[in-house]
Amino acid sequence: MTRSIRGAAALTRAVAAGAAAPGASQHRLLQATLRNPRASTSSPWLSELLSGRRWPPIPSVSNGVAGARLVSAAAATSAAREEGSRGAKFLPDDVVLYQYEACPFCNKVKAFLDYYKIPYKVVEVNPISKKEIKWSDYKKVPILMVDGKQMNDSSAIIDQLFEKIHPDDLAEDEEERKWRGWVDNHLVHVLSPNIYRTPSEAIESFDYITTHGNFSFMERLVAKYSGAAAMYLVSKKLKKKHNITDERAALYEAAETWVDALKGRPFCGGVKPNLADLAVFGVLRPIRHLQSGKDTVEHTRIGEWYDRMRHAVGNTTRAMTQSWQESRERI
Ligand SMILES: N[C@@H](CCC(=O)N[C@@H](CS)C(=O)NCC(=O)O)C(=O)O
């Protein structure tokens, strides 16, 4: 395999892993597709879409809420900001996240670090060689190194960091636990069938992923199209595996379920986000400006909560490496 194809295969495996770990047969299908990119590009639906449009620029947020809701949203935003700055009491010198850019579990951790204003560096792991985490016995991502101490598993990482930030507030409430579980066991499974739902959506998603990952121009090009083709097929298998008949309906239903869970409060945590809010936001943030995210905001009531979260979480505290800065400028 050429370096580019290997990169594409690696990337696609990462995405497949992020797509809630498809079975071995799906991995084989992916690898077969990627080893024979000609087969993928000769498929009629893909070539038809090779001219697919680029991911549009991030639109400005429209705030269409009524006056009373605006007041409570403003109060909630200021409470959330104050809470977010509490991370300042926990000041590690060196935080490094080993991740796959598209992994929802990694994105949960990033939302937490951003909200608590904890600066961190990111190391993108090659999902085939995993050479960046060769030193670790634990072979999944995310792995977080905090001043040299290794933390594994998104929920365990978040729990340990939360304990450091809130040493006197360790009793997780039942509701928060329930919804954090719902994110890991339900919401993440609905995402892949949606972001790779059609060939054009699969290309759009791969455009996002390859733009944000660490790829050369050629790797990006190959990964974008062959990866999109493979994941389009894999997503159909995942849909079956998780008993999803209509993926968009399932995504809308999940969004509505979440809004119902808020019970009219600005956040699940009340006037400020709790760990359930951060988990839902973390896994949805990368898809917000993909077609599936736009459709969800248009067809469900989740947009107001999402905008409150966006304001509460604020700017990322991820260290701006040159390639990350450049990839943000490209979109
Ligand atoms: N329960 C773990 C799940 C982590 C997980 O499954 N990560 C995937 C990527 S999204 C992974 O590393 N899979 C193994 C692999 O790629 O080989 C967590 O919450 O962190």
128-163 per-position pLDDT tens digit: 789 999 999 999 999 999 999 999 999 999 999 999
pLDDT the model gives residue 65: 36
Q: Distance between CA 63 and CA 65 in Å, rounded?
A: 6
Q: Which atom of ligand 1 is nearest to the CA of 109?
A: 20
Pocket lined around ligand 1, Cβ cut-off 6 Å = 17-18, 21, 100, 103, 105, 127, 140-142, 153-155
pLDDT the model gives residue 86: 56
Q: Which atom of ligand 1 is nearest to the CA of 184?
A: 19
Phi, psi (degrees; rounded to nearest 5) at 123? -115, 120
CA of 219 to the centre of ligand 1 (A): 23
Q: Distance between CA 306 and CA 315 in Å, rounded?
A: 14
Q: Distance between CA 304 and CA 74 in Å, rounded?
A: 12
Q: Whose CA is nearest to atom 11 of ligand 1?
A: 140
pLDDT the model gives residue 222: 86
CA of 271 to the centre of ligand 1 (A): 32
CA of 17 to the centre of ligand 1 (A): 7
Phi, psi (degrees; rounded to nearest 5) at 249? -60, -40
What's the maximum distance between 2 C-alpha atoms anywhere in the chain? 60
| Mean pLDDT within 152-176 | 92
Q: How far is CA 207 from CA 105, 169, 200, 227, 255, in A?
A: 20, 42, 10, 10, 24
Q: Does 123 score more than 90 pLDDT?
A: yes
CA of 60 to the centre of ligand 1 (A): 33
Q: Does 13 score more than 60 pLDDT?
A: no
Strand boundaries in 32-109, DSSP class E:
95-99
Q: Whose CA is nearest to atom 1 of ligand 1?
A: 153
- State the sign of the Cα–Cα–Cα–Cα dihedral 144, 146, 148, 149: negative
Q: Distance between CA 44 and CA 85 in Å, rounded?
A: 52
Percent of the chain scored above 70 by pLDDT? Answer: 69
Q: How far is CA 230 from CA 35, 123, 237, in A?
A: 11, 25, 11
Q: Does 64 score more than 50 pLDDT?
A: no
Q: Distance between CA 297 and CA 300 in Å, rounded?
A: 6
Q: What is the mean pLDDT of the chain?
A: 79
Confidence of residue 61 (pLDDT cuts 50, 70, 90): very low
**Residues annotated as part of the active site:** 100, 103, 105-106
CA of 54 to the centre of ligand 1 (A): 29
Q: Distance between CA 109 and CA 331 in Å, rounded?
A: 23
Model pLDDT for residues 269-296, shown as the tens digit of each residue: 999 999 999 999 999 999 999 999 999 9
Q: Whose CA is nearest to atom 2 of ligand 1?
A: 153
- Which distant-in-sequence residues (6+ apart) come within 8 Å of 66 by Cβ? none
Contact 238, 26 (CB under 8 A): yes
Q: Does 199 score more than 60 pLDDT?
A: yes
| Mean pLDDT within 106-116 | 97
Q: Which atom of ligand 1 is nearest to the CA of 13?
A: 16
pLDDT the model gives residue 178: 98
Dihedral, CA of residue 91, residue 92, residue 94 and residue 95, to nearest 10? -100
Contact 148, 94 (CB under 8 A): yes
